[in-house]
Amino acid sequence: MGFDVGKVELHCEKNNTAHKTNDISVNRLIVRRGQSFLVTFELHGPSRPTTDFLELKVETGPQPSEALGTRSVFRLPEGCGKGSSWKAKVHQGSVFLAGSITLDITSPADAPVGEYRLSVKTSATASVGSSLGKLLLLFNPWCKEDWVHLPEEEERQEYVMREQGLVYKGSDKYISSMAWNFGQFEDDIVDICLKLLDVNPKCLSDPANDFSARCNPIYVSRVVSAMINANDDRGVLMGRWDGRYDGGMSPTYWNGSVEVLRRWLKNGSNPVKYGQCWVFAAVMCTVLRCLGIPCRVVSNFQSAHDTDKNLTIDDFFSDYGVRPKQSPDSVWNYHVWVEAWMRRPDLSAGSLYDGWQVVDPTPQEKSTDVYCCGPAPVKAILQGCVDLKYDVPFVFAEVNADRVTWMVFADGSKKKISTDSVSVGQNISTKAVGSDKRVDITANYKYAEGTEKERAVYNLAVKRLNIPGENSNGTHDGKPGVSMKIVELTKPVSGKDIDLKLILNSNDSETRTLVINVNVQAMRYTGIPSSQIQTELKELKLLPNQDLTIPIHIPFFVYGEKMRESNSIKVSAVVTDKDKSEAVYITEKDLVPESPSLTIKAIGSELQYSEMTAEVVFENPLSEGLRNCFITVTGSGLLTETMEARMPLLKQGQRLRVMMPFTPYRPGPKKLVAGFNCDQFRDIKASCNVYIKPVTGVVPPLRR
């Protein structure tokens, strides 16, 4: 005869604290795989309870199956069952004679992640078990048997537990950082992440196998990569790069992932408008950290987008500067992706390709007919092993493609000017562990430019991809008859005029007559010109062994308006030798004007549940009024939702000071992030660090 199951205690606060999920919730059971958790329940019957027959069952997904690992039946004493790898034993402190039992239950380290239903049968003759409740199971970087195990605790704190981070933007010579609130522990985010998995096309077409495959971080990261963009499915974000953002928000509006994910859910799993690479990557980082996969956001400067898979990017110039592309290849000022940490036993019997994997949710090229990218082992990219999955050739080109510059003449003919094997893949950057410092991880992706090893790896990659034609010798082609460079005279600051100079020098003994065309263009960060700013044509003589200096002045009133939806200014000089018409020389410089100063600071006791104030200050640097100004402030663990303040007009020289009250609800290191936008300026960001001290014995205020 069986026993009736009475009161059930899931010990949510104790279990979640032990599993490092208490920041998500202490009111529902959220545990990590491969690690035991406690469940207590009462047994009522005509006789004293025993453990002669206690059979537990866990199930996940709509079609649970023991063969697929989505159902497990296991019994006491430990080890009894149907070959199950879920286990249970009586907890050492259990008071069984009192009519209740406490069990230590352990999931396998390779169980599918997701929501499980837990039940118990107390009799072999019972047809159904009694429900013990539900639990959420996540990946476990603390468990050595889990494929996402990360050995160092300091790194686990950074790449799994840290809710804030930095994203690097700009260009290789003008690297700036913006703070980002990942917010993976906000109380509704874990459910949104599971919803994301549930509406992916693989789950909709074959739910049984999809839920089973969620045991594998390789599979899960690939699904998340596809689902962050909305190109093939009901993904989170719609990308847009043309500067027109009607019906949505400019990608520069976002300061964190939480609002993006909540909007997606509220929209009925329809895409949020709009995102670009750093938004895609940061939102993916939130989802992976929430699910328990260690990950970090990585920025690659001078990032190649190689569409024809030949590891070469063609740049086309005319006498008026950068031409619209004759091929879809491009070099982005920067591109942002995610590195996720996991083992790769699918690629090697040993641990050859374990570790950081590039996973990129920005929809650039299709991978097996879906807009996703990775996981591509960073170790494989370093060695040029482009025949490995997933998408290693594409990422290899992003960091190590060669660039060929062409001059296109009025009759449509073109001339190869130079080959450059050095400039692609610069200053690959990520946030340091435990601090806000930038770490350069370029050496993880490729050997030093200009070395024989780097060229050997490039040539090996070309060979493995069976690319026809000659390989680059790794140098700029030949020594030019005229050397040129563009030099800054003032630091470029948005709102101020920019001054530079073009310096030319001849290596010949003869005087040269040169036609010099200096062009200034507003550029999108994807390497595409958005508009012409100014151009200047001169004909000058260049004397032997003497410098010729040409000043370049770019007034703010000329470039300001054209930079609202652009990332950088490209200044290029195209020089033609009148005496040698075939001699053409090109030099260029990318400028990223620094934004005007925006500051934010936190005022108050920095104590959990105590009211504090965010002070945001911005001063108008222009000689005209700023129109339609608005400030946003976010901060995971600090503010439950984004706060906004608007001002129709900020007069010349006027100082805007906004005070916003907030009550921090989660202890630990946090960031307040502010954003400022107006008609004249876009994407001005500021942040400050706040360390919230915990309090005990206080009933937390109600929050969403």
Positions marked active-site: 277, 335, 360
CA atoms of 20 and 386, how far apart (whole Å): 38
CA distance 308 to 312: 9
The answer to whether 676 and 683 have CB atoms below 8 angstroms apart is no
Residue holding tokens 């001169």? Answer: 538
- DSSP letter at 545 equals T
Cis peptide bond upstream of 559, omega within 30: no
Going along 123-163, which residue ranges are E strands?
130-138
Q: Is 495 exposed, middle or buried (0-12, 13-18, 19+ CB in 10 A)?
A: middle
Say how far apart CA 274 and CA 256 lie, in whole Å: 13
DSSP code of 594? B
- Separation CA 577–CA 129 (nearest Å): 88
SS3 514: strand
How is residue 229 annotated by DSSP? Answer: B
CA dihedral 197, 201, 204, 210 (to 10 degrees): -60
Quote the CA–CA distance of 406 and 574 in Å, as a whole number.
12
Please name every residue paired with 312 in a beta bridge, in sequence order, or none if there are none.
402
Contact yes or no for 344/357 (Cβ under 8 A)? yes
For the record, the structure tokens of 360 come out as 């990129």
Using CA atoms, how far residue 335 sits from 156, 361, 434, 527, in Å, is 25, 11, 24, 11
Angle subtended at Cα 121 by Cα 115 and Cα 125, rounded to the nearest 5 degrees: 140
User: What is the Cα–Cα distance from 182 to 199, expressed in whole angstroms?
Assistant: 22
In degrees, to the nearest 5, what angle opens at C-alpha 618 toward C-alphas 614 and 623? 170
What is the distance between the alpha carbons of residues 252 and 371, in angstroms, rounded to a whole number?
23
Angle of CA points 270, 274, 279, to nearest 5°: 105
Tokens of 217: 């971080």
Question: Residue 200: left (phi > 0), alpha (psi -120 to 50), or beta?
Answer: beta
> How many other CB atoms are found less than 10 A from the CB of residue 491?
12
**What is d(CA 42, CA 40) in angstroms, rounded to the nearest whole number?**
7
In degrees and rounded to multiples of 5, residue 181 shows phi and psi of -95, 110
